[in-house]
Structure 1
Amino acid sequence: MKKILILFVAITSLATAQKKDITLDEIWNGSFRTERMNSLNSMNGDFYTLLNFNRTTRSTSVDKYSYQTLEKIESIVDSKDLADLKYFESYEFNNDETKLLLGVDAEPIYRHSSLGVFYVYDLVSKTLQLVDEEKIQEPTFSPDSKKVAYAKNNNIYIKNLENNEVTQVTTNGLKNSIINGICDWVYEEEFAFVRAFEWSKDSENLAFLRFDETEVPSFSMDITGKNLYPTQQVFKYPKAGEKNAVVTLHIYNISSKNNKEINIGEYEYIPRIKWTNNANILCATTLNRHQNDLKLHFVNATTSEAKVVLNEIDKAYVDIHDNLTFLSDNSFIWTSEKDGFNHIYHYSKEGELIKQLTSGNWEVTNFYGVNEKTKTAYYQSVEDGSINRTIYAVGFNGKNKKRLTNASGTNSASFSKNKNYFINTFSDANTPTIYTLHNSKGEQLKEILNNNTLLEKLSTYNLSKKEFFTLKTETGEFNAWMIKPSNFDATKEYPLFMTQYSGPGSQSVSNKWNSSNDYWFQHLAEKGYIVVCVDGRGTGFKGAEFKKATYLNLVKYETIDQINAANELAKRPYINKNEIGIWGWSFGGHMSTNCLLKGPDTFKMAIAVAPVTSWRFYDTVYTERFLRTPQENPAGYDDNSPINYADKLTGKFLLVHGSGDDNVHVQNTMRLTNALIEANKPFDQAIYPDRTHGIYRGKNTRLHLYTKMTNFIEENLGETKTPVELLKQ
């Protein structure tokens, strides 16, 4: 019996010893990528489509599936059958699903925008029709499917698909001056949309925004490129306190070809336009410059008269969202955090409150729409805990609320147009993405796709579970997670490496499957580090008061919370209080820099990637939302800018930036660099030529970056100490 036991122990030990550590190459070559359902779109009836790629024929297809059976019904279009189009990258149906817009040769501009070549594919005649000889932006079918509106060279065009005639709606478009129908840089980045034109329901009118950027200061970036001389990218970028583009609302009538500007009173921003279910009524959202006074205007397209139907005012700011949904009687669903938490409200077409559909000390995180026949609204929320997401249904009367997904973790629903079915995407920290089919009652009908093969693969690696907990400090109770080495020994002391983002309304502590960074943290854990993430004040999904606690003092309280969190964690016997590091990207890079400078007795080292170093350098919309203007609040900008206290640096510091970052300009890093030089402070730096904010384009870019950061951590953050070493201290 003893021999068998010894043999079993030996075999178990051998199996453990044979497990591999995750390598940086594997993380960035896609070895741990999950299987996904690509470009899922709900169709009319109980059907959906996917964009599929055939590796054998090297062709793309739009394939139709049944929600009821999940079986493929047909291939709607396959590029192998198209003589003029070898492949396509995107697709979009018209209303009656008789035509498709197929996009190819996409050329990125900024975060969300791109240029491309587009074709209209007729499902009946199986013919292709080129929309324009040049690359264009945001082609969109008219509701009657007879026309396509699109943007080109800062102007709007309409192509008649029946006779191929093209009408140029605007003629004054000019780069870095006038933009028609497409958002400027700051709207795209901060209000998260590109197409600033919308068809009315009867296809008779096209509403659009015009951006006059003439008075907006220009920003320029040198592009190293591959030629003998570098080039320069010049674009309009309104920094905090500077002039924004003057944005005006226009309605173009198709029949009369009349283009009129609409007067909607005083405002600074028009972050959304949307036609109501009354084809003659447009809804335009406006904000003042402080972004704490939001109005919904109903505009009559015939008379040009506008009236305010909803007005929200907040002592801090009002967030912009896409949850405005019009019902058949033109009453509307709206989400708001006016009671302290984000919830669903139903208003009449006159703007009178009919019913608050949800309430409680939790947040609605996504609104999926309604089934008017059953008077039911569908949404995602954090009712199951702020690190989780769960799908629910509730009646228009606020009653009969029902949980539609059972598993605790991150659930995200894609509903059929008629709301009879939804495909749920689920994951948690231990379960890679699973796609399942459910009916509107929440009953799971079938599993569509799982990633069990990835789990099997990962079982051969040394991995540790992500442990979630609440960290109590003198400034609050915060969501947190911890990853320990797989061979963790509580009698040893380990160096602590903290990761965070910390930006307003963000969340880094969430119960979902691994991102690439999570594999990096596992890689670091196997090198002997304990990795921890803490969401301090200012982060999201715990109510407006928690999120807006940092208003007018951005980064101040967030920095205090990370320092306090590190000090609290250092009280644990297995953490070496003298070996604590921190890193972050973008807002998180600002934070890691501040933590190192303002917490020199806590943090030994820090890495900052693409950091803001002064909010004076960042854009109007984002920055002023949280700080107001630098003219109004200079201390809010300067007291927490590391440029102003670079002389406090005592720890090891790695500063990284992409020189082609159109978002957080490399100017931030260069100005901090100058301050550190003037203070005679040693530090390490890496500039990635022409890389944008994500620092990812080009062969091996991410691998190079993460190798550099890993080496810096190993060189500057101490090793694990054994009990014997601890006794010698």
Structure 2
Amino acid sequence: MNNYLETYPASAARTQRFSLGLPKAFVTSPDGERVLFLRTRGPEDRTSCLWILDGDEERLLVAPEQLGADGPVPEAEKIRRERTRERSSGIVSFSTDAGLTVAVFPVSGKLWHLDLLTGTLRALETPGAVVDPRLDPTGHRVAYVTDGSLHVLELADGNDRELAAADGPDIFWGLAEHVASESMNRTRGHWWSPDGTRLLATRVDQTQVQRWWIADPANPASRPREVAYPAAGTPNAVVTLHVLDLDGRRTDIDSGDFEYLPTAAWDAHGVLLSVQSRDQKTVQVLAADPTTGRTAVLHEQRDPAWVELVPGTPARTASGKLVVADDTPSTRRLLIDGRAVTPEGLQLRAVLDVTGETVLFQANDEPTERHLWLHDPTGLHQLTNSPGVHTAAGGVVTSSTETGQAFAVRRTGRQIESLAVRPALEPRITWLRAGDLQLRTALVLPSWYEPGTTLPVLMTPYAGPALQVAVRAATPLWPTAQWYAEAGFAVIIADGRGTPGRGPAWDKTVYGDTLSLPLEDQVTALHAAAEYCPDLDLTRVGITGWSYGGILSTIAVLRRPDVFHAAVAGAGPSDPRLYDTHWRERFLGHPDENAEAYDRSSPLPEAANLSRPLLLVHGLADDNVVAAHTLRLSAALLAAGRPHQVLPLSGATHMPTDEATSEGLMRHQLNFLREALGIAAPGTPPGR
């Protein structure tokens, strides 16, 4: 136990919380015999490489050091990686043709081409640094973005054409804007036609978007970085959609007056897109004629709170049947051709693949699990049943359970090896259902615990909209919880109202107030755990969280100091008016119209209530939840005469990845909690 307590922070930091060495970004050949994927070469290697599974053999195809490319990563690529939470270096994305015979990928802004049949690798000449290259389905040409302009490069002769120029300093083509990639799950901005002769592309005009400047205080000689950030209530980027012929002709897609473009695609039936109103209460699915740009409404969904965007929808089957999500109060259903094909109580989470008339999707009836389901002309079929989180992408099924992760090719069942290391100590989890709402709650106890041993409590929630953490899967949360447990805590992790997986009405209980009910649910989970295990010391309860979990931890010690006695809040969005339009207005509306909702969902008006120890942590390079959130909260606490601590992380973005920073932060948080809760003799189990 003591060895794990000492070594775990360094191990978690070196392995990026045990994620290095996991395979990802799969693409499978049509016959299922070959799979291209990314993976680092080991559990402490941060450089991602390109690999192939060919039959039963895995081979390393390309390592970045083979390329001699060690230049700077383009700024637009850095932004793309931050939005997608990509933490590795090297080859972090690639694109292939439909037959998996060729691939292209960027490294340090340079474009590379790999013939997967001969193994020939060559650099491609481009007029600028390359961002998000995409091969056309036939493998003859590649589209990419450089300096905000969209280009197409012919692979046969090297001819490079600028299809759409960035016609202004605040305009770019072919990439996702901030709110699309951060809050809508749309991380790209250009799509090939099925025959590879035309492109569908976004034009993003950020002229009216407010500008923020993020400096590096640890390096005062560095220029601040300019960020176009559409905070709640301020103008969004203007996003339009266009069809570009290879000869330069442009057709504008008429997407109406709706402000948001959540999805776009080009299938055998033409262009398919969805648009969403600024208040997010209406979503329309549109079919667009790529020749004329005219659109027709195929489906419309309305909701008095907001319409949830479900990944993978809309889509169409080979015969043209529309695949969308639809809500009843209790269930998010899958609709195919206007007919619900899933039963009440089975919650649709994502559509993963549509091939022919077969729709593969992820759904759950038990919120701690997610399973693969398939609908085809013969009916509905459940493909997985072992407790865990199962998903699929690129022809590979990823199964994550409490005992680990596995990666299997769907068609052949062949396994792709994980090179990640497992934590030295298995989490000791007891699953509970708390209160009348049956809140899914996990209690993690020390390996050395015996009944009669008094344990202080640490709650580590996220518990906010759009993210679950109390799931039966091998996530980094569990080994960290066990580390805190070995330090002497009973750790409680609970998902309350607003977290996904329990139906639309459950999701939308937080509309207009994102803090009150989730906080109430954490108290319920705490008392349920104490009823199950009477050794929990309810006079010493800490709470810690990151992002939404950070603001929930803050509000816990402000509103319920009778329950929570210390808090660590990391990167909390303390001022909801500083967070982006699409995310914040989804739950609170427009700040000019719902000012009270913004006040209810912020700790700033309640800063004077602090009476418990509070540690605020924030990365100074965070461009998602900017450091101003924590600085404003600290200022409000100071003005009210309330002592607290602030730990700034130099150079850190929303999720710190630097090894020394990550390790030091874990140890600092533990020491803070021990001191705040009066836990003496570090490493000595309390009450023994």
Report the TM range for the smaller structure's normalisation: 0.7 to 0.9
Whether contact under 8 Å (2:674, 2:680) holds in the other structure is no
The 2-side partners of 1:411 and 1:171 are apart by: 42
Partner of 2:598: 637
Aligned match of 2:241: 249
Mapping of residues 261-660 of structure 1, within 5 Å: 261-278=252-269, 281-320=270-309, 321-338=311-328, 340-347=330-337, 353=338, 355-372=339-356, 375-383=357-365, 385-396=366-377, 399=379, 401-414=380-393, 416=395, 423-429=396-402, 431-436=403-408, 449=417, 458=424, 461=425, 465-472=428-435, 476-515=437-476, 517-570=477-530, 573-660=534-621
Distance of 1:689 and 1:81 partners within structure 2: 29
SS of 1:247's partner is strand
CA displacement, residues 646-704 of structure 1 (integer Å, 9 cap, x when unaligned): 1100001001111111011111111111111111111111001121111223x401001
Distance 2:321 2:398 in 1: 31
CA–CA separation in structure 1 for the residues paired with 2:549 and 2:4: 33
Q: Structure 1 stretch 163-172 or stretch 79-88: which is displaced more?
A: 79-88
Is the Cα contact below 8 Å between 1:381 and 1:391 reproduced in 2? yes
How far, CA to CA, are the matches of 1:358 and 1:52 in structure 2? 35
Following superposition, the deviation at residue 244 of structure 1 comes to 0.9
Matched, 1:186 2:179: yes
Please tell me the residue identity of whatever aligns with 2:182: E
Query: Is structure 2 residue 20 aligned with structure 1 residue 41?
Result: no
Q: Does 1:104 align with 2:107?
A: yes
Once residues 247 and 28 of structure 1 are traced to their aligned partners in structure 2, the CA distance between those partners, rounded to angstroms, is: 39
Q: Distance between the aligned counterparts of 1:491 and 1:497, measured in 2?
A: 18
TM-score normalised by the chain length of structure 2: 0.88
Instruction: Please state if 1:232 is matched with 2:224.
Output: yes
Correspondence for 2:73? none
Do the aligned partners of residues 54 and 500 (structure 1) sit closer, same or farther apart at CA in structure 2, a change above 3 Å counting?
closer
Matched, 1:154 2:154: no
Q: CA deviation at 1:136?
A: 1.5
Q: Which has the higher contact order (CA 8 A, sep 6+)?
A: 2
Asked if the contact 1:223/1:690 (under 8 Å) is kept, the reply is yes
Structure 2 residue corresponding to 1:134, chosen from 85, 104, 128:
128
Q: State the 1:608 CA deviation.
A: 0.3
Q: What SS does structure 1 have at the residue aligned with 2:94?
A: strand
Matched, 1:705 2:665: yes
Contact (CA 8 Å) 1:411, 1:426: kept in 2 or not? yes
Aligned position for 1:3 = none
Q: How many residues are aligned here?
A: 656
**Could you tell me how far 1:78 is from its partner in structure 2?**
5.0
Cα distance in 2, alignment partners of residues 124 and 570 from structure 1: 61
Instruction: For 1:569 and 1:80, locate their aligned partners in 2 and report how far apart those are by CA, in whole Å.
Output: 49
* 1:297-340, Cα deviation, whole Å (9 max, x unpaired): 11112222211111111111112222333222222322333464
Per the TM alignment, residue 208 of structure 1 is displaced from its structure 2 partner at its CA by 1.5
SS at match of 1:657: strand
Local SS of the residue matching 1:434: strand
Q: Which has the larger radius of gyration?
A: 1
Cross-structure match for 1:108: none
Pair 1:212–1:389, CA change in 2 (3 A): same
Conserved? CA contact 2:230–2:580, under 8 Å: yes
The unaligned stretches of length 5 or more in structure 1 are 1-15, 106-115, 348-352, 417-422
Q: Is the 8 A contact 2:332 2:346 kept in 1?
A: yes
Check the 8 A contact 2:637/2:643 in 1, yes or no: yes
| In structure 1, C-alpha distance between the alignment counterparts of 2:201 and 2:418, rounded to whole Å | 43
Q: Which amino acid aligns with 2:110?
A: V
Cα deviations by residue, 1:428-469 (Å, 9 ceiling, x for unpaired): 22x1223445659xxxx5666579x967x83xx5x5521111
Contact 2:138 2:196 in 1 (8 A): yes
> Is the 1:471–1:565 contact (alpha carbons within 8 Å) kept by the matching residues of 2?
yes
Counterpart CA distance in 1 for 2:64 and 2:536 is 59
Which residue is 1:419 aligned to? none
Tell whether the 8 Å contact from 1:22 to 1:523 is kept in structure 2 after alignment. Answer: no
Q: Counterparts in 2 of 1:86-105, with a 5 A limit?
A: 90-105=93-108
In structure 2, stretches of 5+ residues that fail to align are 71-89
Q: Tell me the amino acid that sits aligned with residue 668 of structure 1.
A: H
> Would the aligned equivalents of 1:566 and 1:602 in 2 still touch at CA under 8 Å?
no
1:355-407 Cα shifts (integer Å, max 9, x gaps): 322122121223332453xx543333223x2211222333336x3x3332342
Shift in Å at residue 490 of structure 1? 2.6
Q: Given the superposition, is the C-alpha separation of residues 161 and 545 from structure 1 closer, same or farther in structure 2, using an over 3 Å criterion?
A: same
Take 1:52 and 1:709, find their aligned partners in 2: how far apart are those partners?
31
Distance between the aligned counterparts of 2:16 and 2:114, measured in 1? Answer: 36
Does the 8 A contact of 2:325 with 2:332 survive in 1?
A: yes
CA distance in structure 1 between the partners assigned to 2:508 and 2:582 by the alignment: 16
Match of 2:80 in 1: none
Question: TM-score with structure 1 length normalisation?
Answer: 0.83
State the Cα deviation string for residues 621-656 of structure 1 (Å, max 9, x = none): 100011111111111001232111111000010011
Q: Distance in 2 between matches of 1:597 and 1:254?
A: 59
- CA RMSD in angstroms, aligned pairs only: 3.1
CA distance in 2, matches of 1:605, 1:229: 38
What's the % identity of the aligned pairs?
A: 23
Paired residue type of 1:425: T
Counterparts of 2:618 and 2:377, CA distance in 1:
49
